[in-house]
Amino acid sequence: MKRISILVCGAGAIGCYYGSKLHQGGAQVSFVTPGDTHLLQDTGIYIESLNEKPYHFFPYEVINPGQTLSHTPDYVIVTTKVLPHIDTVEVVRPYLNPHTTIVLLQNGIDIEHPFSQAFPNHELIRILAFVCVSRQSIGNVLHQDYGKIAMGNYPKGTSSRAQQLAQSFEKGGVECELSDQVQLACWKKLSWNAAFNPVSVLARGADTKTMLNDPECRQLIESIMGEVVSIAAHTGYDLPSSLIEEQLKNTDAMVPYKTSMLLDYENGRPMEIDAIVGNALRVARRHNVPAPRLQSLYGLLRLY
């Protein structure tokens, strides 16, 4: 059988980690990155993990945006941060043929629109990652915990392409849940991110345990999650009533963790404020759903 070929857009924590898993699952994995292509090509990618043996792999090809790739990939997987100044539509455009499937492996809600508008005839898949990874230096990634993903076609369904990609992840050891309603999974993940990520920054660098151990902060987290659940319901995505309690219980059981937004803030990098808070607020406004806490978080974070 022909190896599936994958072009990962972005060689950060998520791109390197899941790229390595797809490589272990037998796929041919290349990268397009604005960083040092020679370093990645010559020394490869090293994944250190707190719960499995460290490993190392060499990508098939590494190019800068705009450079020529020797082949047309079956899948292009976007793993950049979702930020207004990163135009991933234009980064991936030269590498698509009519059969290339576009995959967004990123956090946030309502982030698919630029792709569905620019490439209306291309299949689009969304993946949500439940993982804690960070890039230590170019090509060096630390995997701290978890790793499971949920995926499905945007806006809904699970095509044979989605199933093939899921199999490739599973062969590489990634637990993968295929979902007919990936938007529901997006809202579910957003209910966690929209609460913990902004509060961790505004609470001057609080990790998950610090936020949850303070009763007032815990109540705030719960109320923000409630707003997200209510917005989701008004757009036709009913999350289970037990969700908030479950999320809090699961987070209580996690090792104290700094959210990706906090890590970005502490490292002087731009934060995914729109993908995680602003977009949800705009959906709320379109549907006349009150979201005063999200509005406060968004207003404050915009000035950070």
Ligand X SMILES: CC(C)(CO)C(=O)C(=O)O
What are the distances in angstroms from CA 180 to CA 102, 123, 129, 153, 157? 17, 14, 16, 7, 4
Helix (H) or strand (E) holding 82: none
Query: Could you tell which of ligand X, ligand NDP, none binds residue 13, using a CB distance below 5 to 8 A set by kind?
Result: ligand NDP
**Is residue 44 a contact partner of residue 167, using CB atoms and an 8 Å limit?**
no
The first and second tokens of residue 32, run together, are: 């397009």
Q: Which residue is nearest to ligand NDP (CB)?
A: 12
CA distance 42 to 67: 18
Q: Smallest distance, Å, CB 60 to ligand NDP?
A: 17
Nearest of 18, 284, 286, 303 to residue 295 by alpha carbon: 284
Q: What angle do CA 278, 130, 251 make, to 5 degrees?
A: 85
**Is residue 108 a contact partner of residue 275, using CB atoms and an 8 Å limit?**
yes
Query: Could you tell which of ligand NDP, ligand X, none binds residue 5, using a CB distance below 5 to 8 A set by kind?
Result: none
Rg of the chain over all Cα atoms, to the nearest angstrom: 19
Q: Smallest distance, Å, CB 30 to ligand X?
A: 25
**Is residue 14 a contact partner of residue 79, using CB atoms and an 8 Å limit?**
yes
The first and second tokens of residue 261, run together, are: 């937004």
CB of 221 or CB of 289, closer to ligand NDP = 221
CB of 14 or CB of 231, closer to ligand NDP = 14
Q: Which of 4, 132, 165, 194 binds ligand NDP (CB under 6 A)?
A: 132
Q: Smallest distance, Å, CB 126 to ligand NDP?
A: 11
Q: Which stretch binds ligand X (CB under 6 A): 110-118, 151-159, 212-220, 257-265?
A: 257-265
Residue 254: other Cβ atoms inside 10 A: 14
**Using CB under 6 A, which residues numbered 176 to 215 contact ligand NDP?**
none
Query: Could you tell which of ligand NDP, ligand X, none binds residue 197, using a CB distance below 5 to 8 A set by kind?
Result: ligand X
CA distance 42 to 21: 19
Q: Which of 183, 197, 247, 279 binds ligand X (CB under 6 A)?
A: 197
Q: Which of 24, 80, 153, 193 binds ligand X (CB under 6 A)?
A: 193
The answer to whether 259 contacts ligand X (rule: CB under 6 A) is yes
**Using CB under 6 A, which residues numbered 72 to 131 contact ligand X?**
107, 129-131
The answer to whether 106 contacts ligand NDP (rule: CB under 6 A) is yes
The answer to whether 132 contacts ligand X (rule: CB under 6 A) is yes
CB of 86 or CB of 233, closer to ligand NDP = 86
**Is residue 277 a contact partner of residue 294, using CB atoms and an 8 Å limit?**
yes
CA distance 183 to 34: 30
CB of 119 or CB of 130, closer to ligand X = 130
Which SS3 state, helix, strand or coil, does residue 23 take? helix
Q: Which of 82, 149, 262, 280 binds ligand NDP (CB under 6 A)?
A: 82
Residues forming the site for ligand NDP (CB under 6 A): 9-15, 32-35, 65, 79-82, 86, 91, 106-107, 129, 131-135, 260, 272
Residues forming the site for ligand X (CB under 6 A): 107, 129-132, 192-193, 197, 257, 259-260
